[in-house]
Amino acid sequence: MKRKIVVGALTLIGFLAAGVWYYVFVYSKTHHRNVADEQGLIVPAGQIVKDYETDEARANKKYLNKAVEIEGFILKKDKDQAGNTTITLRSGDPMANIFCTLKPGEANKLHGTQMVIKGICTGYLSDVVLNEAVVLKSE
């Protein structure tokens, strides 16, 4: 009886350890946060830039690390040093715009000048910065 319990406990510990190992080293490498699955916070291009310019700390509380959905006009399309496509959306403010790095494969969805994109807001430098963005609409 005692032996059964010990064997059972050891098996359980073994499974738990394997589970933890799998989660930390396998699952976390293959499963990344995907902005496409998240509900985006819808905000006009001009508004998010204005919020950051007015009070950066407050804007960070509202937008930082969140999926944000922005509609706007494309100002510039470029490539970063790793080959990812980046786009700048016009805010209407001459000092700061919205700088987005697109997820690989999303660049094919760019057609026109007006678009809706959803990305993770990582903060504010010269522009409001979005990362891992997906294109929802482009015409």
Partner 1 sequence: MKKAILPLFFLAIAGFAANAQKVYATKNGQIKFNASSPIEKIEAVNNQVDSKFVDKTGQIVFSALIKSFKFENQLMEDHFNENYLESSKIPKAEFRGFISNIASVDFTKDGKYPVTVEGTLNLHGVQQKVSTSGSLEIVGGKPMIVGVFKVKIKDYGITGLYIGDKIASEAEISVNCKYE
Choices 5-13, 44-52, 76-84, 107-115 (CB under 8 A): range interacting with partner 1: 76-84
Stretch that binds partner 1, among 9-17, 29-37, 44-52, 67-75 (CB under 8 A): 29-37
Supply the DSSP symbol for 16.
H
Which of 65, 108, 113, 114 is the binder for partner 1 (CB under 8 A)? Answer: 65
For residue 8, report the phi and psi dihedrals to the nearest 5 degrees.
Answer: -60, -45
Burial of 112 (0-12, 13-18, 19+ CB in 10 A): exposed
18: enclosing H helix or E strand: helix 2-21
Binding site for partner 1 (CB under 8 A): 23-25, 28-29, 31-33, 60, 64-65, 78-82, 84, 86, 99, 101, 120, 122-127, 129, 131
